[in-house]
């Protein structure tokens, strides 16, 4: 890559990085009351980055920087996803930023940095790039979790997230070391080639490496038994950041899993396939059963996000059958979109108030939106949650994983109990008198806040009604993968 | 007895295990934090010795990235510990229990 072209290919990320730095500096130099300007610049940066990604969409897949990253439709798909999630997170936190006096420049800087990390994780085709992008994302999200410095639970959540996150990163690194020791390379393509063509029995170090890698990524996607941090961190973090953690960070983790396990380490399927099946069953069951007994809505959504990671792991397990690879991998991507819409929406409502007693009558429109999100999380037909589950379970059935699909379906039935309980609280409980009601009514009329709800609610319904057009785009990005 | 690559790898595995044990068993935040750094540095040791064994420089480059990331992580981690310490004058992890779980 001797010429200047790489700037063009990297433009989505470069725009994001420069916007992030610009916003951080601008916050220092302009007057404090000019928050709208900084906010608009950050949003424009995200939109500009999305526009350049759109320009790149029709190009051919190519490797950059000696196969350190790969630009193809798969990486662009995840770039779009993380850009969209970042924008929605920024929008939904805008009223809170004004109300709570959070440091705006830093907040947006770390939000955009996290977005760079999440996007880059899908681009990475080298263990070094994978590690760096994972850390860019994680460090930014640790700080975002603790951004409310006056609130003890926010700092505590950040601390727990940081300690366990850094702990898991060390495992990931050690796994990378073992993989490197066994194969002699950090490049995905060289590793895949080595595993495919090796005539000798593979050294045991590669299996240790595989296990350690699974531990490291398992933490990020909150697979059981690496889920201990999830409820505490999700409860402690500012609610918009919780939404980003549940959707964006998880999506990035799955993009790395797809590139690393399904594509690169595909010759080791017999080894990791079984582990993924075990993870998936455990994750669904533990997530759902623990969610049943939660009384705090944020904790309940945290456990539900663990359970949803379990559903996605079903598709990952099914993708080890070569004949359903396309369908299963597409269903992972589709479910990530589906989950993003409904979760961002639900958390936006929760950021509005955590006391949902009689909320449906007090704010009818918000109540309807929450009902849509909850029905979608259960998986009721006209919503996107149903289509996501449908694709995942059908790929499991076609791949011959009957038991896995049945356990998944039983789990979604169990899950409907705690989602319906939210609906009961919305419409059948008496509303409690709270002092913050005047505050929430000013939020309810906020334009930005409502636009997020509109986007997510309409998205939940529209993609659920017309899934095939989205699915076509996803299939394209999957075929670019190989 | 000569010191060869396997000794470095065994030392690195030992250091990693000590780090893991430190994170799991110690209750002081700063000690836990140091244990995590120990884990990262044991990885560095393993990377360098494997790189020497394979006669390939990739892993030595990786070590520089790991050192950089470890520095960034130290800065972030200490900042978080300080912000917590300002509100709750303690570095004992067991007293940080506002969130149940």
Query: pLDDT tens digits, residue range A312-358?
Result: 999 999 999 888 999 999 999 999 999 999 999 999 999 887 777 88
Q: Please report the DSSP string for A77-131 in residue order.
A: HHHHHHHHHHHHHHHHHHHHHHHHT--HHHHHHHHHHHHHHHHHHHHB-BHHHHH
To test the contact with chain B by mutation, choose from A133, A144, A173 the residue with the greatest count of B C-beta atoms within 10 A, namely A173
Query: pLDDT tens digits, residue range A278-319?
Result: 999 999 999 999 999 998 899 999 999 999 999 999 999 999
Beta carbons of A306 and A250 less than 8 angstroms apart: no
CA distance, residue B1 to nearest chain A CA (Å):
24
Phi-psi region of A358 (alpha: psi -120 to 50; beta: other; left: phi over 0): left
- Identify the pLDDT of residue B81: 92
- Identify the pLDDT of residue A419: 93
Nearest CA in chain B to A141: B76
- Range in A34-38, A390-394, A429-433, B7-11 with the lowest mean pLDDT: A429-433
Which residues, other chains included, contact A209 with Cβ-Cβ below 8 Å and sequence gap of 6+? A175, A176, A177, A178, A179, A181, A182
Of B46, B58, B69, the CB nearest to A186: B58
Tokens 């999630």 locate to A85
Q: How far apart are the C-alpha atoms of B7 and B10, rounded to whole Å?
A: 5
- Identify the pLDDT of residue A89: 94
- Give chain A positions within 8 Å (CB) of B33: 163
Interface check B49 vs A, CB under 8 A? no
Q: Where are the domains of chain A?
A: 304-482
Query: pLDDT tens digits, residue range A358-394?
Result: 888 888 888 999 999 999 999 998 899 999 999 999 9
pLDDT at A86 over 80: yes
- Identify the pLDDT of residue A390: 94
- Identify the pLDDT of residue A96: 83
Q: Which CATH class is domain B28-92?
A: mainly alpha
Largest Cα–Cα separation, chain A:
72
- Identify the pLDDT of residue A66: 86
Q: Where are the domains of chain B?
A: 28-92
Of A153, A162, A181, the CB nearest to B50: A181
Span A100-117, average pLDDT: 91
Q: How far apart are the C-alpha atoms of A275 and A288, rounded to whole Å?
A: 20
Query: pLDDT tens digits, residue range B62-72?
Result: 999 999 999 99
Do A173 and B72 lie within an 8 Å CB cutoff?
no
Do A135 and B73 lie within an 8 Å CB cutoff?
yes
Q: Two tokens at A177?
A: 């070391």
Beta carbons of A456 and A345 less than 8 angstroms apart: yes
Interface check A81 vs B, CB under 8 A? no
To test the contact with chain A by mutation, choose from B57, B66, B89, B96 the residue with the greatest count of A C-beta atoms within 10 A, namely B66
Do A186 and B62 lie within an 8 Å CB cutoff?
yes
State ipTM.
Answer: 0.95
Q: Two tokens at A413?
A: 């039935």
If we measure between CA atoms, which residue out of A75, A53, A49 comes closest to residue A62? A75
Interface check A173 vs B, CB under 8 A? yes
pLDDT at B18 over 80: yes
Do A155 and B80 lie within an 8 Å CB cutoff?
yes
């Amino acid at each position: 890559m001797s010429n200047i072209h790489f700037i063009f290919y990297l433009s989505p990320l470069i725009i994001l990085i420069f916007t992030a730095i610009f916003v951080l500096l601008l916050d220092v130099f302009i007057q404090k009351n000019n928050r709208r300007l900084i906010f608009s610049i950050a949003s424009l940066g995200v939109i500009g980055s999305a526009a350049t990604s759109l320009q790149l969409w029709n190009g051919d897949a190519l490797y950059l920087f000696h196969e350190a990253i790969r630009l193809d439709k798969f990486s662009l798909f995840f770039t779009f996803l993380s850009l969209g999630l970042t924008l929605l997170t920024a929008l939904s936190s805008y009223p809170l930023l004004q109300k709570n006096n959070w440091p705006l420049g830093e907040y947006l800087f770390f939000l955009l940095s996290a977005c760079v990390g999440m996007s880059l994780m899908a681009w990475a085709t080298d263990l070094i790039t994978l590690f760096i992008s994972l850390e860019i994302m994680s460090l930014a999200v640790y700080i975002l979790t603790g951004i409310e410095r006056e609130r003890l639970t926010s700092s505590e959540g950040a601390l727990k997230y940081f300690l366990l996150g850094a702990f898991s990163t060390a495992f990931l690194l050690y796994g990378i070391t073992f993989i490197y020791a066994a194969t002699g390379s950090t490049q995905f393509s060289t590793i895949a080639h080595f595993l495919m063509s090796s005539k000798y029995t593979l050294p045991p170090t590669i299996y240790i490496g595989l296990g350690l890698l699974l531990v490291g990524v398992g933490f990020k996607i909150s697979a059981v038994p690496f889920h201990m941090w999830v409820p505490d961190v999700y409860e402690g973090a500012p609610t918009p950041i919780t939404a980003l953690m549940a959707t964006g960070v998880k999506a990035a983790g799955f993009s790395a899993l797809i590139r690393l396990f399904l594509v690169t380490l595909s010759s080791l399927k017999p080894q990791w396939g079984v582990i993924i099946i075990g993870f998936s069953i455990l994750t669904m069951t533990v997530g759902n059963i623990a969610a049943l007994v939660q009384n705090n809505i944020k904790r309940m959504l945290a456990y539900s996000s663990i359970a949803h990671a379990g559903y996605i792991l079903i598709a990952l397990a099914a993708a080890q059958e070569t004949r359903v690879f396309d369908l299963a991998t597409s269903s992972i991507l589709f479910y990530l979109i589906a989950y993003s819409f409904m979760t961002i929406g639900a958390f936006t409502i929760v950021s509005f108030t955590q006391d949902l007693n009689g909320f449906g009558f007090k704010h009818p429109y918000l109540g309807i939106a929450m009902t849509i999100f909850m029905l979608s999380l259960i998986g009721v037909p006209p919503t996107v949650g149903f289509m996501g589950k449908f694709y995942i379970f059908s790929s499991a059935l076609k791949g011959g994983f009957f038991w896995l699909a049945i356990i998944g379906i039983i789990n979604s039935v169990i899950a409907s109990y705690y989602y319906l309980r939210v609906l009961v609280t919305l419409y059948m409980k008496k509303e409690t008198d709270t002092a913050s009601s005047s505050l929430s009514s000013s939020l309810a009329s906020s334009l930005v806040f409502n636009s997020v709800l509109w986007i997510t609610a309409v998205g939940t319904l529209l993609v659920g009604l017309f899934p095939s057009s989205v699915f076509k785009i996803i299939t394209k990005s999957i075929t670019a993968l190989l | 007895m000569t010191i060869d690559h396997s000794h470095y790898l065994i030392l690195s595995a030992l250091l990693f295990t000590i780090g893991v044990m430190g994170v799991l068993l110690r209750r002081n935040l700063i000690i836990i934090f140091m244990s995590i750094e120990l884990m990262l540095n044991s990885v560095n040791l393993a990377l360098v010795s494997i790189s020497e064994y394979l006669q390939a420089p990739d892993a030595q480059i990786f070590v520089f990235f790991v050192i950089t990331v470890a520095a960034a992580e130290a800065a972030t981690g200490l900042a978080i510990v300080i912000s917590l310490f300002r509100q709750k004058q303690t570095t004992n992890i067991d007293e940080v229990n506002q969130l149940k779980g």
